[in-house]
Structure 1
Protein backbone atom coordinates (compact mmCIF):
# COMPACT_ATOMS: atom_id res chain seq x y z
CA UNK A 1 0.00 0.00 0.00
CA UNK A 2 1.16 3.52 -0.84
CA UNK A 3 -0.16 6.53 1.06
CA UNK A 4 -0.12 10.25 0.23
CA UNK A 5 -2.03 13.44 1.01
CA UNK A 6 -3.83 15.66 -1.48
CA UNK A 7 -3.84 19.26 -0.22
CA UNK A 8 -6.30 22.10 -0.82
CA UNK A 9 -5.52 25.62 -1.98
CA UNK A 10 -6.80 29.12 -1.44
CA UNK A 11 -6.57 32.09 -3.79
CA UNK A 12 -4.80 35.22 -2.61
CA UNK A 13 -6.69 37.65 -4.81
CA UNK A 14 -8.20 36.90 -8.19
CA UNK A 15 -8.40 39.39 -11.03
CA UNK A 16 -10.59 38.57 -14.04
CA UNK A 17 -8.85 40.42 -16.86
CA UNK A 18 -10.67 39.27 -19.99
CA UNK A 19 -13.58 37.11 -21.09
CA UNK A 20 -12.46 35.01 -24.06
CA UNK A 21 -14.63 33.90 -27.03
CA UNK A 22 -14.19 30.31 -25.81
CA UNK A 23 -16.04 31.19 -22.60
CA UNK A 24 -12.89 30.95 -20.51
CA UNK A 25 -11.18 33.90 -18.83
CA UNK A 26 -7.72 35.37 -18.54
CA UNK A 27 -6.97 35.84 -14.86
CA UNK A 28 -4.24 36.64 -12.38
CA UNK A 29 -4.32 34.96 -8.99
CA UNK A 30 -2.05 33.91 -6.15
CA UNK A 31 -2.11 30.22 -5.23
CA UNK A 32 -1.03 28.91 -1.84
CA UNK A 33 -1.65 25.75 0.18
CA UNK A 34 -3.68 25.04 3.29
CA UNK A 35 -3.47 21.95 5.52
CA UNK A 36 -6.93 20.69 4.57
CA UNK A 37 -6.26 17.41 2.76
CA UNK A 38 -7.68 14.15 1.42
CA UNK A 39 -5.83 10.92 2.23
CA UNK A 40 -4.96 8.47 -0.57
CA UNK A 41 -4.33 4.76 -0.03
CA UNK A 42 -3.32 2.95 -3.22
CA UNK A 43 -2.87 -0.78 -3.85
CA UNK A 44 -2.11 -2.84 -6.90
CA UNK A 45 -5.17 -4.73 -8.09
CA UNK A 46 -6.66 -6.72 -10.95
CA UNK A 47 -8.54 -3.69 -12.25
CA UNK A 48 -9.00 -0.01 -11.51
CA UNK A 49 -11.21 0.73 -8.51
CA UNK A 50 -12.12 4.02 -6.85
CA UNK A 51 -13.50 3.98 -3.30
CA UNK A 52 -14.52 7.28 -1.68
CA UNK A 53 -15.40 7.85 1.97
CA UNK A 54 -18.07 10.36 0.88
CA UNK A 55 -20.94 8.56 -0.86
CA UNK A 56 -22.32 11.84 -2.20
CA UNK A 57 -19.36 12.21 -4.57
CA UNK A 58 -19.64 10.10 -7.75
CA UNK A 59 -16.87 7.53 -8.20
CA UNK A 60 -17.58 6.95 -11.90
CA UNK A 61 -15.60 8.04 -14.97
CA UNK A 62 -16.62 11.67 -14.41
CA UNK A 63 -14.59 11.86 -11.21
CA UNK A 64 -11.33 13.73 -11.82
CA UNK A 65 -9.36 10.88 -10.23
CA UNK A 66 -10.82 8.49 -12.81
CA UNK A 67 -10.21 10.97 -15.62
CA UNK A 68 -6.57 11.36 -14.58
CA UNK A 69 -6.14 7.59 -14.27
CA UNK A 70 -7.70 6.94 -17.67
CA UNK A 71 -5.67 9.71 -19.33
CA UNK A 72 -2.45 8.24 -17.97
CA UNK A 73 -3.41 4.76 -19.18
CA UNK A 74 -4.53 6.05 -22.59
CA UNK A 75 -1.46 8.15 -23.40
CA UNK A 76 1.31 6.44 -21.40
CA UNK A 77 0.01 2.94 -20.70
CA UNK A 78 -0.14 1.08 -17.39
CA UNK A 79 1.79 -2.10 -16.65
CA UNK A 80 -0.36 -2.65 -13.55
CA UNK A 81 -3.80 -1.63 -12.31
CA UNK A 82 -4.50 0.10 -9.01
CA UNK A 83 -7.21 0.51 -6.41
CA UNK A 84 -7.62 4.02 -4.93
CA UNK A 85 -9.20 4.36 -1.49
CA UNK A 86 -9.74 8.05 -0.69
CA UNK A 87 -10.69 9.57 2.65
CA UNK A 88 -12.40 12.79 1.58
CA UNK A 89 -12.03 15.79 3.87
CA UNK A 90 -11.86 18.73 1.43
CA UNK A 91 -15.42 19.93 0.71
CA UNK A 92 -16.53 19.77 -2.93
CA UNK A 93 -17.57 22.94 -4.76
CA UNK A 94 -15.83 25.01 -2.10
CA UNK A 95 -13.24 26.93 -4.13
CA UNK A 96 -10.46 24.87 -2.56
CA UNK A 97 -9.43 22.84 -5.62
CA UNK A 98 -10.09 19.45 -4.06
CA UNK A 99 -10.88 17.68 -7.33
CA UNK A 100 -7.92 19.20 -9.16
CA UNK A 101 -5.62 18.34 -6.27
CA UNK A 102 -6.87 14.74 -6.36
CA UNK A 103 -6.27 14.52 -10.11
CA UNK A 104 -2.75 15.92 -9.81
CA UNK A 105 -1.84 13.48 -7.03
CA UNK A 106 -3.25 10.59 -9.05
CA UNK A 107 -0.87 11.41 -11.89
CA UNK A 108 2.09 11.79 -9.56
CA UNK A 109 1.32 8.44 -7.89
CA UNK A 110 1.06 6.63 -11.23
CA UNK A 111 4.24 8.31 -12.46
CA UNK A 112 6.07 7.02 -9.38
CA UNK A 113 4.61 3.52 -9.19
CA UNK A 114 4.93 2.89 -12.93
CA UNK A 115 8.46 4.38 -12.91
CA UNK A 116 7.74 6.42 -16.04
CA UNK A 117 9.87 9.42 -14.95
CA UNK A 118 7.60 11.97 -16.62
CA UNK A 119 8.33 15.64 -15.92
CA UNK A 120 5.83 17.99 -14.32
CA UNK A 121 5.13 19.50 -17.75
CA UNK A 122 4.50 16.04 -19.20
CA UNK A 123 1.95 15.36 -16.45
CA UNK A 124 0.27 18.73 -17.01
CA UNK A 125 -0.06 17.99 -20.72
CA UNK A 126 -1.96 14.78 -19.97
CA UNK A 127 -4.93 16.54 -18.34
CA UNK A 128 -4.46 20.24 -19.06
CA UNK A 129 -8.13 20.61 -20.03
CA UNK A 130 -9.57 19.02 -16.89
CA UNK A 131 -8.94 21.90 -14.49
CA UNK A 132 -7.23 25.28 -14.67
CA UNK A 133 -5.52 24.87 -11.30
CA UNK A 134 -4.18 21.33 -11.91
CA UNK A 135 -0.74 22.67 -13.02
CA UNK A 136 -0.39 24.41 -9.66
CA UNK A 137 -1.04 21.18 -7.79
CA UNK A 138 1.35 19.20 -9.96
CA UNK A 139 4.15 21.72 -9.45
CA UNK A 140 3.40 21.71 -5.73
CA UNK A 141 4.67 25.20 -4.87
CA UNK A 142 2.92 28.51 -4.13
CA UNK A 143 2.89 30.88 -7.05
CA UNK A 144 1.17 33.28 -9.38
CA UNK A 145 -1.34 31.84 -11.84
CA UNK A 146 -1.89 33.74 -15.10
CA UNK A 147 -3.60 33.12 -18.44
CA UNK A 148 -6.36 30.64 -17.68
CA UNK A 149 -4.66 30.08 -14.33
CA UNK A 150 -2.50 27.34 -15.84
CA UNK A 151 0.70 29.33 -16.24
CA UNK A 152 2.39 29.12 -12.85
CA UNK A 153 5.20 31.41 -11.74
CA UNK A 154 6.52 30.00 -8.44
CA UNK A 155 6.68 32.74 -5.80
CA UNK A 156 7.32 32.78 -2.07
CA UNK A 157 3.80 33.92 -1.16
CA UNK A 158 2.75 31.33 1.43
CA UNK A 159 1.38 33.60 4.19
CA UNK A 160 3.32 34.08 7.40
CA UNK A 161 0.11 33.93 9.37
CA UNK A 162 -2.53 31.51 10.62
CA UNK A 163 -5.07 30.73 7.89
CA UNK A 164 -8.59 29.87 9.07
CA UNK A 165 -10.73 28.48 6.24
CA UNK A 166 -14.49 28.14 6.71
CA UNK A 167 -16.84 26.16 4.47
CA UNK A 168 -20.39 27.56 4.69
CA UNK A 169 -22.07 24.23 3.95
CA UNK A 170 -23.07 24.66 0.31
CA UNK A 171 -21.38 24.57 -3.08
CA UNK A 172 -20.78 27.55 -5.36
CA UNK A 173 -21.02 27.33 -9.15
CA UNK A 174 -17.80 28.33 -10.92
CA UNK A 175 -19.69 28.96 -14.16
CA UNK A 176 -22.17 31.29 -12.44
CA UNK A 177 -19.40 33.16 -10.62
CA UNK A 178 -17.51 33.90 -13.83
CA UNK A 179 -20.70 34.50 -15.80
CA UNK A 180 -21.81 37.32 -13.50
CA UNK A 181 -18.45 39.03 -12.95
CA UNK A 182 -17.23 42.09 -14.84
CA UNK A 183 -13.73 41.65 -16.31
CA UNK A 184 -11.29 44.52 -15.77
CA UNK A 185 -8.37 44.48 -18.25
CA UNK A 186 -6.53 47.29 -16.47
CA UNK A 187 -6.56 46.80 -12.68
CA UNK A 188 -4.88 49.51 -10.63
CA UNK A 189 -2.53 47.06 -8.91
CA UNK A 190 -1.26 43.68 -10.04
CA UNK A 191 -1.69 40.81 -7.62
CA UNK A 192 1.99 39.94 -7.95
CA UNK A 193 3.02 43.43 -6.85
CA UNK A 194 0.63 43.40 -3.89
CA UNK A 195 1.74 39.99 -2.65
CA UNK A 196 5.44 40.65 -3.11
CA UNK A 197 5.69 44.30 -2.05
CA UNK A 198 2.88 45.11 0.39
CA UNK A 199 2.57 44.12 4.06
CA UNK A 200 -0.18 41.63 4.86
CA UNK A 201 -2.21 44.13 6.86
CA UNK A 202 -2.51 46.27 3.70
CA UNK A 203 -4.03 43.48 1.65
CA UNK A 204 -7.61 44.20 2.74
CA UNK A 205 -7.38 47.57 0.97
CA UNK A 206 -5.61 46.35 -2.19
CA UNK A 207 -6.17 42.64 -2.77
CA UNK A 208 -9.52 41.77 -4.34
CA UNK A 209 -11.27 38.67 -5.64
CA UNK A 210 -13.34 39.82 -8.63
CA UNK A 211 -15.62 36.80 -8.30
CA UNK A 212 -16.57 37.68 -4.74
CA UNK A 213 -19.19 40.44 -5.28
CA UNK A 214 -21.51 38.49 -7.64
CA UNK A 215 -21.24 35.35 -5.50
CA UNK A 216 -21.95 37.18 -2.23
CA UNK A 217 -24.95 38.90 -3.85
CA UNK A 218 -26.49 35.46 -4.33
CA UNK A 219 -25.13 33.87 -1.14
CA UNK A 220 -25.19 36.35 1.72
CA UNK A 221 -23.77 33.87 4.23
CA UNK A 222 -20.40 34.06 2.45
CA UNK A 223 -20.27 37.80 3.07
CA UNK A 224 -21.39 37.31 6.67
CA UNK A 225 -18.58 34.82 7.32
CA UNK A 226 -16.05 37.23 5.80
CA UNK A 227 -17.30 40.01 8.08
CA UNK A 228 -17.13 37.70 11.10
CA UNK A 229 -13.53 36.77 10.32
CA UNK A 230 -12.61 40.45 10.35
CA UNK A 231 -14.57 40.91 13.58
CA UNK A 232 -12.55 38.06 15.13
CA UNK A 233 -9.32 39.88 14.23
CA UNK A 234 -8.24 38.69 10.79
CA UNK A 235 -5.84 41.05 9.01
CA UNK A 236 -7.16 39.82 5.66
CA UNK A 237 -10.23 37.85 4.65
CA UNK A 238 -11.63 36.82 1.28
CA UNK A 239 -13.56 34.19 -0.60
CA UNK A 240 -11.34 31.54 -2.17
CA UNK A 241 -11.65 31.20 -5.95
CA UNK A 242 -15.26 31.03 -7.06
CA UNK A 243 -16.39 30.10 -3.54
CA UNK A 244 -17.98 29.04 -1.44
CA UNK A 245 -15.24 28.85 1.23
CA UNK A 246 -13.94 31.95 2.98
CA UNK A 247 -10.59 32.32 4.70
CA UNK A 248 -9.09 34.75 7.16
CA UNK A 249 -5.41 35.29 7.92
CA UNK A 250 -4.46 35.97 11.56
CA UNK A 251 -1.15 37.19 12.95
CA UNK A 252 -1.61 35.74 16.46
CA UNK A 253 -2.24 32.08 17.20
CA UNK A 254 -4.62 32.54 20.14
CA UNK A 255 -6.82 34.88 18.09
CA UNK A 256 -6.95 32.37 15.22
CA UNK A 257 -7.71 29.50 17.60
CA UNK A 258 -10.53 31.45 19.24
CA UNK A 259 -12.05 32.16 15.82
CA UNK A 260 -11.62 28.52 14.80
CA UNK A 261 -13.39 27.30 17.93
CA UNK A 262 -16.23 29.76 17.43
CA UNK A 263 -16.96 28.58 13.88
CA UNK A 264 -16.48 24.95 14.91
CA UNK A 265 -19.07 25.34 17.66
CA UNK A 266 -21.51 26.58 15.00
CA UNK A 267 -20.96 23.29 13.10
CA UNK A 268 -19.10 24.83 10.18
CA UNK A 269 -16.42 22.68 8.54
CA UNK A 270 -13.18 24.52 9.25
CA UNK A 271 -9.45 24.19 8.87
CA UNK A 272 -6.62 26.03 10.62
CA UNK A 273 -3.27 26.20 8.82
CA UNK A 274 -0.09 27.26 10.57
CA UNK A 275 2.16 30.09 9.28
CA UNK A 276 4.51 29.38 6.36
CA UNK A 277 2.88 25.99 5.83
CA UNK A 278 4.75 23.59 3.53
CA UNK A 279 2.73 20.56 2.37
CA UNK A 280 4.26 17.08 2.40
CA UNK A 281 4.04 15.88 -1.21
CA UNK A 282 5.67 12.54 -0.46
CA UNK A 283 4.27 9.21 -1.66
CA UNK A 284 5.12 6.61 0.96
CA UNK A 285 5.12 2.80 0.97
CA UNK A 286 3.24 1.54 4.01
CA UNK A 287 3.71 -1.94 5.46
CA UNK A 288 0.38 -3.68 5.95
Structure 2
Protein backbone atom coordinates (compact mmCIF):
# COMPACT_ATOMS: atom_id res chain seq x y z
CA UNK A 1 0.00 0.00 0.00
CA UNK A 2 1.45 3.37 -1.03
CA UNK A 3 2.29 5.77 1.74
CA UNK A 4 1.05 9.36 1.82
CA UNK A 5 4.17 11.45 1.27
CA UNK A 6 3.07 14.65 2.94
CA UNK A 7 0.03 15.62 4.96
CA UNK A 8 -1.06 18.87 6.54
CA UNK A 9 -3.45 19.01 9.47
CA UNK A 10 -5.07 22.05 11.03
CA UNK A 11 -5.37 21.25 14.72
CA UNK A 12 -8.14 23.44 16.05
CA UNK A 13 -8.99 25.00 19.38
CA UNK A 14 -12.16 24.46 21.41
CA UNK A 15 -14.30 26.50 23.77
CA UNK A 16 -16.00 25.32 26.94
CA UNK A 17 -19.70 26.03 27.21
CA UNK A 18 -19.99 25.98 30.97
CA UNK A 19 -17.58 24.10 33.22
CA UNK A 20 -18.55 22.70 36.61
CA UNK A 21 -16.11 21.13 39.06
CA UNK A 22 -18.34 18.49 40.63
CA UNK A 23 -16.12 16.84 43.23
CA UNK A 24 -12.56 16.00 44.20
CA UNK A 25 -11.83 12.30 43.93
CA UNK A 26 -9.85 10.11 46.29
CA UNK A 27 -7.10 9.82 43.66
CA UNK A 28 -6.58 13.60 43.70
CA UNK A 29 -8.27 14.27 40.38
CA UNK A 30 -11.58 16.12 39.94
CA UNK A 31 -14.81 15.08 38.31
CA UNK A 32 -16.06 17.78 35.99
CA UNK A 33 -18.76 18.46 33.45
CA UNK A 34 -18.66 20.75 30.44
CA UNK A 35 -19.66 20.96 26.81
CA UNK A 36 -16.73 21.22 24.40
CA UNK A 37 -17.29 22.95 21.08
CA UNK A 38 -14.68 22.99 18.26
CA UNK A 39 -13.74 26.31 16.67
CA UNK A 40 -11.87 27.31 13.53
CA UNK A 41 -8.78 28.83 15.14
CA UNK A 42 -5.93 26.43 14.36
CA UNK A 43 -2.27 25.47 14.53
CA UNK A 44 -0.72 23.72 11.52
CA UNK A 45 0.91 20.28 11.61
CA UNK A 46 2.94 18.80 8.76
CA UNK A 47 3.71 15.07 8.85
CA UNK A 48 5.99 13.19 6.45
CA UNK A 49 7.35 9.62 6.51
CA UNK A 50 11.02 9.55 7.58
CA UNK A 51 13.80 7.19 8.53
CA UNK A 52 14.08 8.66 12.01
CA UNK A 53 11.66 10.74 14.08
CA UNK A 54 12.22 14.49 14.16
CA UNK A 55 10.06 17.26 15.61
CA UNK A 56 10.48 20.95 14.80
CA UNK A 57 8.42 24.06 15.49
CA UNK A 58 7.88 27.57 14.18
CA UNK A 59 5.51 30.43 14.97
CA UNK A 60 4.94 31.11 18.65
CA UNK A 61 7.81 29.85 20.84
CA UNK A 62 6.86 26.54 22.46
CA UNK A 63 8.16 26.39 26.06
CA UNK A 64 9.56 23.31 27.76
CA UNK A 65 11.51 20.29 26.60
CA UNK A 66 10.45 18.73 23.29
CA UNK A 67 10.04 15.37 25.05
CA UNK A 68 7.16 16.85 27.06
CA UNK A 69 5.29 18.09 23.99
CA UNK A 70 2.11 16.11 23.31
CA UNK A 71 3.09 15.72 19.66
CA UNK A 72 6.26 13.89 20.71
CA UNK A 73 4.33 11.90 23.31
CA UNK A 74 1.84 10.92 20.61
CA UNK A 75 4.67 9.55 18.47
CA UNK A 76 6.02 7.62 21.45
CA UNK A 77 2.70 5.81 21.85
CA UNK A 78 3.37 4.06 18.55
CA UNK A 79 5.90 1.29 18.03
CA UNK A 80 9.01 2.25 15.99
CA UNK A 81 8.21 -0.81 13.88
CA UNK A 82 5.11 1.01 12.66
CA UNK A 83 7.31 3.57 10.91
CA UNK A 84 8.80 6.96 11.64
CA UNK A 85 7.81 10.47 10.73
CA UNK A 86 9.06 14.01 10.55
CA UNK A 87 6.61 16.40 12.21
CA UNK A 88 6.65 20.17 12.01
CA UNK A 89 4.33 22.23 14.20
CA UNK A 90 3.57 25.83 13.28
CA UNK A 91 2.21 27.26 16.53
CA UNK A 92 -0.50 29.91 16.28
CA UNK A 93 -2.75 29.13 19.25
CA UNK A 94 -1.63 30.79 22.50
CA UNK A 95 -0.54 28.40 25.24
CA UNK A 96 -1.98 28.14 28.74
CA UNK A 97 -5.09 29.77 27.30
CA UNK A 98 -7.85 27.26 28.10
CA UNK A 99 -8.52 26.47 24.44
CA UNK A 100 -6.98 23.00 24.23
CA UNK A 101 -4.23 23.83 21.74
CA UNK A 102 -1.67 21.34 23.03
CA UNK A 103 -4.28 18.60 23.40
CA UNK A 104 -5.43 19.23 19.84
CA UNK A 105 -1.84 19.00 18.58
CA UNK A 106 -1.41 15.59 20.22
CA UNK A 107 -4.70 14.20 18.92
CA UNK A 108 -4.12 15.48 15.39
CA UNK A 109 -0.61 14.04 15.41
CA UNK A 110 -2.12 10.61 16.12
CA UNK A 111 -4.68 10.99 13.33
CA UNK A 112 -2.13 12.23 10.81
CA UNK A 113 0.40 9.51 11.63
CA UNK A 114 -2.36 6.92 11.28
CA UNK A 115 -2.96 8.15 7.74
CA UNK A 116 0.62 8.88 6.66
CA UNK A 117 1.93 5.52 7.89
CA UNK A 118 -1.14 3.59 6.73
CA UNK A 119 -1.61 2.10 10.19
CA UNK A 120 -5.34 1.54 9.82
CA UNK A 121 -6.02 2.17 13.51
CA UNK A 122 -9.79 2.34 14.14
CA UNK A 123 -11.37 5.34 15.85
CA UNK A 124 -11.79 3.46 19.13
CA UNK A 125 -8.06 2.72 19.30
CA UNK A 126 -7.20 6.34 18.47
CA UNK A 127 -9.50 7.45 21.29
CA UNK A 128 -7.74 5.11 23.72
CA UNK A 129 -4.33 6.38 22.65
CA UNK A 130 -5.48 9.98 22.94
CA UNK A 131 -6.72 9.27 26.47
CA UNK A 132 -3.15 8.31 27.39
CA UNK A 133 -1.96 11.75 26.28
CA UNK A 134 -4.29 13.86 28.43
CA UNK A 135 -7.83 14.52 29.50
CA UNK A 136 -8.87 16.82 26.63
CA UNK A 137 -7.17 14.87 23.86
CA UNK A 138 -9.91 12.32 23.05
CA UNK A 139 -12.31 15.15 22.20
CA UNK A 140 -10.19 16.15 19.21
CA UNK A 141 -10.33 12.67 17.67
CA UNK A 142 -14.02 13.01 16.76
CA UNK A 143 -13.79 16.80 16.97
CA UNK A 144 -17.54 17.38 17.31
CA UNK A 145 -19.59 19.12 20.01
CA UNK A 146 -19.62 16.84 23.05
CA UNK A 147 -20.63 16.67 26.70
CA UNK A 148 -17.53 15.99 28.79
CA UNK A 149 -17.69 14.38 32.22
CA UNK A 150 -15.75 12.26 34.70
CA UNK A 151 -12.12 13.37 34.94
CA UNK A 152 -12.42 14.99 31.53
CA UNK A 153 -11.79 11.89 29.41
CA UNK A 154 -15.38 10.74 28.91
CA UNK A 155 -17.35 12.28 26.07
CA UNK A 156 -20.92 11.92 24.84
CA UNK A 157 -22.36 13.39 21.66
CA UNK A 158 -24.79 16.24 22.10
CA UNK A 159 -27.54 17.58 19.87
CA UNK A 160 -26.28 21.13 20.35
CA UNK A 161 -25.55 23.11 17.17
CA UNK A 162 -24.28 26.68 17.05
CA UNK A 163 -23.82 26.55 13.28
CA UNK A 164 -23.93 30.02 11.79
CA UNK A 165 -23.34 31.83 15.10
CA UNK A 166 -20.39 34.23 15.17
CA UNK A 167 -17.58 33.80 17.69
CA UNK A 168 -15.00 36.29 18.96
CA UNK A 169 -12.07 35.03 21.07
CA UNK A 170 -9.65 37.26 22.98
CA UNK A 171 -6.53 36.11 24.77
CA UNK A 172 -4.94 38.71 27.08
CA UNK A 173 -1.65 36.83 27.40
CA UNK A 174 -2.16 35.68 30.98
CA UNK A 175 -0.74 32.16 31.34
CA UNK A 176 -2.73 30.18 33.90
CA UNK A 177 -1.62 26.69 34.88
CA UNK A 178 -4.16 24.01 35.68
CA UNK A 179 -2.87 23.87 39.27
CA UNK A 180 -3.36 27.61 39.67
CA UNK A 181 -6.91 27.41 38.32
CA UNK A 182 -7.89 24.57 40.66
CA UNK A 183 -6.39 26.32 43.69
CA UNK A 184 -9.39 28.64 43.92
CA UNK A 185 -12.08 25.99 43.46
CA UNK A 186 -14.61 24.59 45.92
CA UNK A 187 -16.27 21.66 44.12
CA UNK A 188 -20.05 21.70 43.91
CA UNK A 189 -22.79 19.91 42.04
CA UNK A 190 -24.96 22.35 40.06
CA UNK A 191 -28.75 22.32 40.29
CA UNK A 192 -28.96 21.86 36.50
CA UNK A 193 -26.39 20.02 34.41
CA UNK A 194 -24.42 21.85 31.74
CA UNK A 195 -25.70 19.19 29.34
CA UNK A 196 -29.25 20.44 29.87
CA UNK A 197 -28.47 24.16 30.10
CA UNK A 198 -26.87 24.35 26.66
CA UNK A 199 -30.08 23.08 25.10
CA UNK A 200 -31.88 26.21 26.32
CA UNK A 201 -32.11 29.27 24.03
CA UNK A 202 -28.76 31.06 23.77
CA UNK A 203 -29.94 34.34 25.39
CA UNK A 204 -30.82 32.35 28.55
CA UNK A 205 -27.24 31.18 29.04
CA UNK A 206 -25.99 34.52 30.41
CA UNK A 207 -27.12 34.11 34.00
CA UNK A 208 -27.17 30.32 34.17
CA UNK A 209 -24.26 28.75 32.27
CA UNK A 210 -21.18 29.13 34.48
CA UNK A 211 -17.49 28.29 34.31
CA UNK A 212 -16.48 27.56 37.93
CA UNK A 213 -12.89 28.67 37.25
CA UNK A 214 -14.03 32.11 36.15
CA UNK A 215 -14.99 33.93 39.37
CA UNK A 216 -11.83 33.16 41.40
CA UNK A 217 -9.58 33.90 38.42
CA UNK A 218 -11.36 37.21 37.75
CA UNK A 219 -10.65 38.15 41.38
CA UNK A 220 -6.97 37.44 40.77
CA UNK A 221 -6.87 38.82 37.21
CA UNK A 222 -9.56 41.54 36.89
CA UNK A 223 -8.71 42.02 33.19
CA UNK A 224 -10.47 38.74 32.40
CA UNK A 225 -13.71 40.09 33.84
CA UNK A 226 -13.26 43.42 32.07
CA UNK A 227 -12.88 41.66 28.72
CA UNK A 228 -15.95 39.53 29.30
CA UNK A 229 -18.01 42.60 30.23
CA UNK A 230 -16.76 44.42 27.14
CA UNK A 231 -18.08 41.60 24.96
CA UNK A 232 -21.50 41.90 26.59
CA UNK A 233 -21.39 45.69 26.18
CA UNK A 234 -20.85 45.19 22.45
CA UNK A 235 -23.81 42.89 22.04
CA UNK A 236 -22.68 39.36 22.78
CA UNK A 237 -25.57 37.02 23.54
CA UNK A 238 -23.25 35.01 25.77
CA UNK A 239 -19.70 35.61 26.96
CA UNK A 240 -17.42 33.54 29.18
CA UNK A 241 -13.90 32.55 30.00
CA UNK A 242 -13.09 29.19 28.46
CA UNK A 243 -11.47 26.25 30.23
CA UNK A 244 -9.04 27.22 32.95
CA UNK A 245 -8.44 30.58 31.23
CA UNK A 246 -7.42 33.14 30.29
CA UNK A 247 -9.12 33.30 26.87
CA UNK A 248 -12.53 34.96 26.84
CA UNK A 249 -15.10 34.50 24.08
CA UNK A 250 -18.41 35.96 23.00
CA UNK A 251 -21.15 34.61 20.73
CA UNK A 252 -23.29 36.73 18.39
CA UNK A 253 -26.05 36.01 15.91
CA UNK A 254 -24.24 37.99 13.19
CA UNK A 255 -20.68 38.90 12.31
CA UNK A 256 -19.16 41.48 14.64
CA UNK A 257 -15.74 43.09 14.13
CA UNK A 258 -14.13 44.10 17.43
CA UNK A 259 -10.53 43.73 16.28
CA UNK A 260 -9.70 47.42 16.74
CA UNK A 261 -11.20 47.49 20.22
CA UNK A 262 -9.02 44.56 21.30
CA UNK A 263 -5.94 45.41 19.22
CA UNK A 264 -3.65 44.98 22.25
CA UNK A 265 -4.57 41.30 22.64
CA UNK A 266 -4.50 38.12 20.60
CA UNK A 267 -7.78 38.15 18.69
CA UNK A 268 -9.63 35.62 16.54
CA UNK A 269 -13.12 35.61 15.10
CA UNK A 270 -15.13 33.38 12.80
CA UNK A 271 -18.37 31.52 12.23
CA UNK A 272 -19.11 28.32 14.13
CA UNK A 273 -19.88 25.06 12.30
Task: Tell me which interval the TM-score lies in, with the shorter structure as reference length.
Answer: over 0.9
2:217 maps to 215
Give the superposed CA RMSD: 1.5
Contact 1:107–1:123, Cα closer than 8 Å, also in 2: yes
Offset, 1:59 = 5.5
Offset, 1:211 = 0.9
Question: How many residues are aligned here?
Answer: 266
Aligned equivalents of 1:8, 1:127: Cα separation in 2? 16
Contact 2:182–2:213, Cα closer than 8 Å, also in 1: yes
Q: Does 1:27 align with 2:32?
A: yes
Offset, 1:48 = 1.0
Q: Does 1:63 align with 2:69?
A: yes
Task: Output one character per residue of 1:225-271: Cα deviation in whole Å (capped at 9) or x when no partner.
Answer: 11111111111000000001000111121xx21x23321xx221111
2:100 maps to 97
Of 234, 237, 253, which residue of structure 1 is paired with 2:236? Answer: 234
Aligned equivalents of 1:127, 1:212: Cα separation in 2? 27
1:246 maps to 248
Q: Does 1:18 align with 2:23?
A: yes
Contact 1:78–1:114, Cα closer than 8 Å, also in 2: no
Q: How does 1:133-172 map to 2 (within 5 A)?
A: 133-160=136-163, 161-172=165-176
Look up the SS of the partner of 2:112 in the other structure: helix
TM-score, structure 2 length as denominator? 0.93
Offset, 1:56 = 3.9
Q: Does 1:115 align with 2:112?
A: no
Contact 2:128–2:138, Cα closer than 8 Å, also in 1: no
Task: Output one character per residue of 1:77-133: Cα deviation in whole Å (capped at 9) or x when no partner.
Answer: 443311111111111000000010000001111111222222222122224243211
Task: Output one character per residue of 1:205-235: Cα deviation in whole Å (capped at 9) or x when no partner.
Answer: 1100011111111111111111111111111
Contact 1:157–1:195, Cα closer than 8 Å, also in 2: yes
Contact 2:45–2:89, Cα closer than 8 Å, also in 1: yes
> Which piece of structure 1 moves more, 6-15 or 167-176?
167-176
Aligned equivalents of 1:67, 1:158: Cα separation in 2? 33
2:84 maps to 81
TM-score, structure 1 length as denominator? 0.88
More helix by share: 1
2:182 maps to 178
